[in-house]
Structure 1
Amino acid sequence: MASELHETIFMAKQERHKNLFLNYRNLYHFPVELLKDEGLQFLERLYMKRNSLTMLPDNLAQKLPNLIELYLHSNNIVIIPEAIGNLARLQSLDLSSNALQLLCPEVGRLRSLRHLRLSNNQLKSLPPEIGNLQFLETLDVSMNQLVSLPDRLHRCSSLQHLSADHNLLSRVPRHLCQLARLTQLSMAANRLTFLPLDLGRSRELQFVFVDSNLDLKGLPSYLYNKVIGCSGCGVSTQSCEPGQESQDKVLSEALSGLLAEVKVVASEADNVVPLEELAMRTLHRLYDRQQRNCTDVNLPPAIPLPKSLLELLQFPLGHCHRCTQAMFTIIYPKLFPMRHTALAGVHRRTTVSFVAYCCSSHCLRTFNLQS
Structure 2
Amino acid sequence: MATDLHETIFTAKQERHKNLFLNYRNLNNFPVELLKDEGLQFLERLYMKRNSLTTLPDNLAQKLPNLIELYLHSNNIVIIPEAIGNLAKLQSLDLSDNALQLLCPEIGRLRSLRHLRLSNNQLKCLPPEIGDLQDLETLDVSMNQLVSLPDRLYRCLSLQYLTADHNHLSHIPRQLCQLHRLNQLSMATNRLVFLPLDLGRSRELQFVFVDNNVELKGLPSYLYNKVIGCNGCGVSSQVLDSDLGEALGEALSEALAGLPGEVKVVGLETDGVVPLEELAMRTLHRTYHHHPTELNLVPPIILPKSLLDLLQFPLGHCHRCSQPMFTIVYPKLFPLRNTALAGVHRRTTVSFVAYCCSSHCLRTFDLQG
Q: Would you call these one fold, judging by a TM-score over 0.5?
A: yes
Identity among equivalent pairs (%): 81
Q: Could you tell which deviates more after superposition, 2-11 or 305-314?
A: 305-314
Deviation per CA, 1:21-69: give whole Å up to 9, x if none. Answer: 0000000000000000000000000000000000100000000000000
1:301 is displaced (CA, Å) by 5.5
Runs of 4+ in 1 over 6 A off after TM superposition: 240-243
Aligned to 2:94: 94
Aligned to 1:271: 272
Aligned to 2:354: 356
Distance verdict in 2 for CA 1:192–1:145, change over 3 Å = same
1:259 is displaced (CA, Å) by 5.4
2:330 equivalent among 332, 357, 360: 332
Match of 1:145, as an amino acid? Q
1:290 equivalenced with 2:291 (yes/no) = yes
Match of 2:114, as an amino acid? R
1:234 is displaced (CA, Å) by 0.6
Deviation per CA, 1:60-110: give whole Å up to 9, x if none. Answer: 000000000000000000000000000000000000000000000000000
Partner SS state of residue 291, structure 2: helix
Preserved contact between residue 224 and residue 341 of structure 1 (Cα < 8 Å): no
The two structures, once aligned, show a CA RMSD in angstroms of 1.8
Distance verdict in 2 for CA 1:279–1:242, change over 3 Å = farther
Pairing of 1:6-21 with structure 2 (within 5 A): 6-21=6-21
Q: Supply the distance in 1 between the matched residues of 2:321 and 2:153 (Cα, whole angstroms).
A: 28
Match of 1:224, as an amino acid? Y
Q: Could you tell which deviates more after superposition, 11-20 or 339-348?
A: 339-348
Match of 1:192, as an amino acid? L
1:310 is displaced (CA, Å) by 1.6
Pairing of 1:158-177 with structure 2 (within 5 A): 158-177=158-177
Deviation per CA, 1:110-158: give whole Å up to 9, x if none. Answer: 0000000000000000000000000000000000000000000000000
Partner SS state of residue 42, structure 1: coil
Aligned to 1:313: 311
Match of 1:326, as an amino acid? P
Preserved contact between residue 234 and residue 251 of structure 2 (Cα < 8 Å): no
Match of 2:105, as an amino acid? P
Preserved contact between residue 20 and residue 46 of structure 1 (Cα < 8 Å): yes
TM-score with structure 1 setting the length: 0.94
TM-score with structure 2 setting the length: 0.95
Q: Supply the distance in 2 between the matched residues of 1:345 and 1:357 (Cα, whole angstroms).
A: 24
Q: Supply the distance in 2 between the matched residues of 1:345 and 1:321 (Cα, whole angstroms).
A: 25
Aligned to 2:110: 110
Preserved contact between residue 29 and residue 53 of structure 1 (Cα < 8 Å): yes
Q: Give structure 1 stretches of 5+ with no counterpart.
A: none
Partner SS state of residue 252, structure 2: helix
Aligned to 1:190: 190
Aligned to 2:40: 40
Q: Give structure 2 stretches of 5+ with no counterpart.
A: none
1:240 is displaced (CA, Å) by 7.9
Pairing of 1:119-138 with structure 2 (within 5 A): 119-138=119-138
